[in-house]
A and B are shown apart, each in its own frame.
Chain A
Amino acid sequence: MPSIIEKLAESIGLIPKLHHGEPLLDRLQPGSALTNYPPPEQWDNWTEYEAKAWPRREQKTYDIVPTTCFNCESACGLLAYVDKANGQVRKFEGNPYHPGSRGRNCAKGPATINQINDPDRILYPLKRDGKRGDGKWTRVSWDEALDDIAGRIRKALQEKRHNEIAYHVGRPGHEGYMDRVLQSWGIDGHNSHTNICSSGARFGYAIWHGHDRPSPDHAHARVILLISAHLESGHYFNPHAQRIIEGKMNGAKLVVMDPRLSNTASLADHWLPTYPGSEAAVLLAMAQVIIDAGLYNREYLENWVNWQQWLETEFPGEAVVFENFIEKMRAAYADYTPEFAEKESGVKAAVIREVAIEIGKAGTRFATHNWRSAGSGNLGGWAVARCLHFLNVLTGSVGTEGGTSPNDWNKFHPTFFDKPPAQKFWNELHFPKEYPLAFFEMSFLLPHFLKDKRGRMDTYFTRVFNPVWTYPDGFMWMEALSDEEAVGCHIALTPTWSETAYFADYVLPMGLASERHDLNSYETHSGTWIAFRQPVLREVARRQGKDPQFTYEVNPGEVWEEDEFWIQLSWRIDPDGSLGIKKHFESPYRPGECVTVDEYYQYIFEHTKGLPETAAKEGLSALEYMRKYGAYVVEESEYKKNEYAIDAKALEGAVTDPKTGVITKNGKAIGVEVQGKACVGFPTPSRKQEFFSPTMIDWKWPEYKIPTYLKSHIHPDEIDYEKGEFPLLPTFRLPVLIHSRSGNAKWLYEIANRNPIWMHPSDAARLGVDTGSLVRVYTEIGHFVDKVWVTEGMKPGVLACSHHLGRWRRPQDAPGNRWATATVNIQADGKGGYSMKTMRGIEPFKSTDKDSARIFWSDGGVHQNITFPVHPDPISGMHCWHQKVRLEKAHDTDQYGDIFVDTNKSMEVYRKWLAMARPAPGPDNLRRPLWMKRALRPVDEAFYF
C-alpha cells in the first residue's frame, strides 16, 4: 500500500501516478518462497507484470510452453514465456512438472534467453567460399545444402566407402535418435566426445557390472562420497545439487575428495584434499578398514559378487568358502593401509579411518559419484571409479535406497516406429585395434590417425562439437580439418560460431533449447523420467491453429533442428529406395510417405509405459500431454533390479550352469540363479559384480584382475619441484559456464570470464610470484602464459586452471560469441610450430542488444587445452587430462594469453602413449569383449577380425 506521503505526492503531480486503483494481479505466492507457479490451465493465456517496466504496472500476456534446457547434460525443464503481443520469447523459468529439475534451474538455464537473442548467432545455412578456414561464407538454402550433402553420402555408400562417413557429437541428448539414423545408412560412423569426458569412470564401473554410469540416490543416503565438485558443477549440475542438499538436510554426511577447495568441498563434513591420482589408494585403504572392522555386507557379497570364480581360478585346491574369500581379500589389500594412503595422498591416516568407519556404518545407504575429475585426469584414472564402486559393493549399497544404482536402471529406452538392423562395419578410425576395451571412440586421436593416414573422411558431421577448442592438441585438429584430402567435407551443425565451425565447409545453424525437438531421459535420481524438448514458437503456432511444415519456418532466421534435418537428408540420400534407407523414414501412420517429426514422437509417446493412460485422463493424446507438460515420470523409485526374476517365457529353453548359476539362452547369458531364484543379475559374463575380472586377464592386463591402485602419470615420483615442475589440473568446471557452449550468454560471461592459475601461498612464496603475476606454463608440447591467483583453496604442490575460458576468433572469422572471445593472431612456422597471440581482448560492441556496448570485462581467459598433448589411457581410452607442467616467470616479451605449440612434439607424445596400449585381438580373434557395451553397436560378427 502506498503511504500517505506517496499518495499526496502523486495527487499533486510531484511524482507519476502508479496507483490507479485497478485490481492487482494475484501474486503467485505471498512472500518470496519459490513454491508456486502459473497453473498449467493458464499456460495458454498467462498475464503478469513486466519486470523491466517497474514501477509502472505493465501487464503482459504470455503463452507458456515447456521445453528443456540444452546447456548441460541434465536437460532440466524450462518454461518459455512467449509474449502474445510480439510472438517472441521473453524469458525462461523452471518447469515444475519436470521430475529431474522440479522447477529449478542453475544459472545456465534462464540464460538460454541470452543465447537465443545473441546478436552474433548464425541465422542461415552457410557454405564456405575460398579455402577452408579462410573465413569467407555464402548463404545457401536448406535445399541446396541437403541436396549437395545427400549426393556425397549416396555416392560414398554406393561405392562402399561406408567408413568414410562420420557423425561426431559434442552435446548428445536425443535418446537413440542418431543410432537409428546411422544404422539406417548402414555405417559405423558414430563418434563422440566421451573419451575426453568420462571413459575413465565408465570403464571403472563397467568392469564391475557392465553398466557404465552411476546413479547415486543422494537424497536418501547416510553418507555421500563425491570425487570432485559435483554439488556445483558435477554431472547433472542442478538435479544432483538439489538431491545432495536434500540428503544433507536429512542428516547425510558429505565426504569430498578434491585437491581444490570447491564450493562442494566447502560444504563437506570431510574434505579430503587428495593429491591428484592418489584417490584409488585412499579408497582401497578405506576398503581395508571396512573389511578389518567387519563392516562389510556379508549377504550382498556372498550372493552378488563372483568370489567363487576368483578363489577357483587364483587359488586352486583351496576351499571355496566365503570366509576364505574374506581372508584372501584381506591379504590382497594388506599393503593398502591408511598410512600408505596418507603417503600417497597427503590425507591423514586417521581421517581416512574415520571416514571409512562412517561409510561402513552407512551400509546400504552409501551414495557415491565419480564421473570426470580424477577418473578423467590420470593415467589409470579408471581405477578410481573401480575402487569407489568397490566400497559400494563392500557395503552392499549397489542399487539400494540411498545407495548407488547403475544408470540404466533409471534411464528410459524409447520404442521407435522402426529399428534398422545393426551395421556390418567396424570403423577403425573410431575403434582402433590398440584400444579394445575403450569406452568408447578414440575421438581425440582422430587428427593423429588422419595424419598417420589410417583413413580419411569423405563426409564429416560435427554436432554442437568444438574439438579445436575443447580437445587437447587443438592445432592438430586445425591441421586435420584444413586438410581437404583427409576430410572431404566438414559439416558443422551448431547453434553458434565456434573455433571448429571456422574450419567447416557448411555451417548449418541448429536450434537452441527452445528451437528444436529432442527426447531426454537421465538418471538424475532414483526413478525414470522423460522430458520433451520442443520448438516453442512452433507450439505457439500450433495453438494458434497454424501448422508449419518445418521448424525453421518459425525459428529465428532459418535456424533448423537436427531431427528434421536428418529425416530430410536420409530421404534425399535414397530418393528411390534402392539403398534400403528410405523405408526407415516412412511414416508409421501414412505408409509410403516421409515421417514427420510429430509422428516420430507421437509413436514413442504412444509406446511409453503408462503415458497414454495418464494423458487420456486429461482428455489428451500422449503427444498432446507431452506438449502440454513437457515431462512424464515413467517409473517411480525402483531399487535392486538385479534381483528381478527372469520372466517365465524368457526362461523357456534356457540352461543354468550348475556351478556358476549363470543362466544362458541361445549362447547368451540372460541371468543368474541366486538363492534358488532365477534373477536377471548384471550384464557381465558372471551376471554378478565382478570383483575378479577374467576379462582383464583375457585382454592382457592380468595385473589389474582385481581392483588395484595405479600410479598416475603425474605421480609425485614424476614431479621435480626444484625445477619448477607441478601437476596441473585443467579440468575443473565453473558452475555458470559449460564447455564452449556458453560463450553466447552474456549473463554468464559477466559472472565468469577469466581462468587464472590457482596456486597455494607456499608455492607462490617459493616461486616468488603473487596474485596477478604473469607466468609461463610449459607443457610437453609448448606453453601458455597466464596469471597466477594465490589461494589457500588449493592443495600445496598442485596447480589448477579452470575449463571453459580462453575462447578466441581470428580477424578473418565472422564475429561470434563476442561476449567471450578475444581476437587472436595465429602464425604457423611451416615446420609444425604454431603460435597464438592476443591482438585484442573482449571489447564492447554495438548491436541490437544494448548490453553489448556495456561489456566491462576485457579478459576472456587463456586457452590452455590447445597446449596439451594427447594422453590416451591404454585401457579405458580416456584422454588423461592432468598435465605435468613447468612454471617460469613470464619472459620479457611474453604477453597474457600467448601460446606456442610444436605439433611434432604432439606426434611424439601420441606415439609414446600409443605404445603403452596392448592391442586386440583378444580371445577368439575378437576386437572387443562381446559382453561390453559399445556405442552404435554393430552386429556381433563385426566384433571379430
Chain B
Amino acid sequence: MILRPQWRSWLVRGGYALSLFGGVLTLQLAGALLGLDALVSGFVIPGLLLALVVAVYTAFLFAQARGRDFWQSPLLPVHMIVHSLMAGAAMFILLDGAGLVSIGGQLTTLFVAAIAANLIVLAIELYITHPTADAKAVVKMILHGQYRQEFWTVVLACNALPALALYLDPTNAITQVLAAVLVLWGIYRLEKIWIEAPQRIALA
C-alpha cells in the first residue's frame, strides 16, 4: 500500500498522513527530550495540519465505500473532528489528573463545548440527513433497533452526564477524571456502532 500507492484511495492518503504525523511527533518528542525547543515549535503548524488530516481521513475513507449509504453523510468529517477534540481534551484532563501536565479552566470549557457539539452533530446525523432507504434502516437500527440500548447509554452516560457534571462543577478533579474516562469509552462504543451498523445492510 505504501510502496505501490494508489493515490486516489484514502487508505493510502491516510496511511501517509499517519506515517508523517508519527514522524512529526517523534521529532517533537526528540526535541523535547533533547531540549531543542526549535524542533518542537517548528513542527507545531505541520503537526496541527497533519493532526487534522489524521482525525478526519477516516470519514473520507468510509465515504469511498459507495455501497454504504450511511457513510455518505456530509457530516461525517465534522463528526470525526468533534470526536478528536473530545478525545484530546479527555486525554489532557487525565494527564492533568496524573500530575503530568497542568491544564487551565479553558480546556474544561472546550471539553464541555465539544461534547455539546457532538450531541448536536449526532442529532443532525440521525434525525435530519440520510435520504436513502438503506441509511434510514441504519438510523432505525441505532435509534430503535439492536443498537438502541448501547446508543442511548452512550448518549446519556458518556456524553450528557459528564457534560452536565462538568458544567455544574467544572473544577472538581474527580468529576473531571470520571468524565474523561466515560467520554473516551463512549467514543469507542459509538464509533463501533458507526462502523458496524451500516455493514449490517445486505448489499444484494
Contact = CB atoms under 8 A, between A and B. Distances in A.
A650 interface: no
Nearest to A14: B3
Nearest to A18: B4
B5 interface: yes
A2 B4 CA distance: 8
Contacts of B5: 3, 5-6
A2 B5 CA distance: 9
Nearest to A6: B4
Main secondary structure of the interface of A (DSSP, over half): loop
A916 interface: no
Contacts of B2: 5
A15 interface: yes
A541 interface: no
Contacts of B3: 5-6, 9, 14-15
Interface in A208-237: none
10 contacts: A2-B4, A3-B4, A3-B7, A5-B3, A5-B4, A6-B3, A6-B5, A9-B3, A14-B3, A15-B4
A6 B7 CA distance: 11
A3 B7 CA distance: 9
Top 5 nearest A-B pairs (CB, nearest first) are A9-B3, A6-B4, A15-B3, A3-B5, A5-B5
Nearest to A8: B3
Interface in A1-29: 2-3, 5-6, 9, 14-15
Interface string B1-14: 01111010000000
A14 B5 CA distance: 14
Nearest to A3: B5
Contacts of A6: 3-5
A6 B3 CA distance: 5
A5 B7 CA distance: 11
A5 B4 CA distance: 7
Contacts of A14: 3
Nearest to B16: A5
Interface in A494-516: none
Contacts of B7: 3
Interface in B143-186: none
B153 to A, nearest CB: 28
A888 B7 CA distance: 58
A9 B3 CA distance: 6
B201 to A, nearest CB: 16
Contacts of A2: 4
Contacts of A9: 3-4
Nearest to A15: B3
Interface string B47-86: 0000000000000000000000000000000000000000
A3 B16 CA distance: 14
Interface in B1-47: 2-5, 7
A163 to B, nearest CB: 52
A293 B3 CA distance: 72
Interface-centre pick from A2, A3, A14 (highest chain B CB count, 10 A): A3
A5 B19 CA distance: 15
A2 B3 CA distance: 10
A3 B12 CA distance: 13
Most A-side CB within 10 Å, residue of B2, B3, B7: B3
A54 to B, nearest CB: 12
B44 to A, nearest CB: 27
Nearest to A9: B3
A3 B4 CA distance: 7
B13 to A, nearest CB: 13
A15 B7 CA distance: 18
Contacts of A5: 2-5
A6 B1 CA distance: 10
B82 to A, nearest CB: 33
A14 B3 CA distance: 8
A14 B4 CA distance: 11
A792 to B, nearest CB: 14
A14 B2 CA distance: 11
Given A2-B4, A5-B3, 4 more contacts: A3-B7, A6-B3, A9-B3, A14-B3
Query: By CB atoms of chain B within 10 A, which of A5, A9, A14 has the most?
Result: A5
A416 B3 CA distance: 65
B1 to A, nearest CB: 11
A433 B203 CA distance: 54
Contacts of A15: 3-4
Interface string A249-280: 00000000000000000000000000000000
A6 B6 CA distance: 10
Nearest to B7: A3
Interface string A266-299: 0000000000000000000000000000000000
A31 B7 CA distance: 18
A369 B189 CA distance: 54
Contacts of B4: 2-3, 5-6, 9, 15
A168 to B, nearest CB: 39
Nearest to A2: B4
B64 to A, nearest CB: 18
B204 to A, nearest CB: 10
A2 B7 CA distance: 11
Nearest to B2: A5
Nearest to B6: A3
A91 to B, nearest CB: 24
A270 to B, nearest CB: 21
Interface string A420-463: 00000000000000000000000000000000000000000000
B203 to A, nearest CB: 14
A396 to B, nearest CB: 41
A6 B2 CA distance: 9
A17 to B, nearest CB: 12
A14 B7 CA distance: 19
Contacts of A3: 4-5, 7
A757 B84 CA distance: 49
B133 to A, nearest CB: 14
Nearest to A55: B4
B9 to A, nearest CB: 12
A9 B1 CA distance: 12
Most buried by A among B2, B4, B7: B4
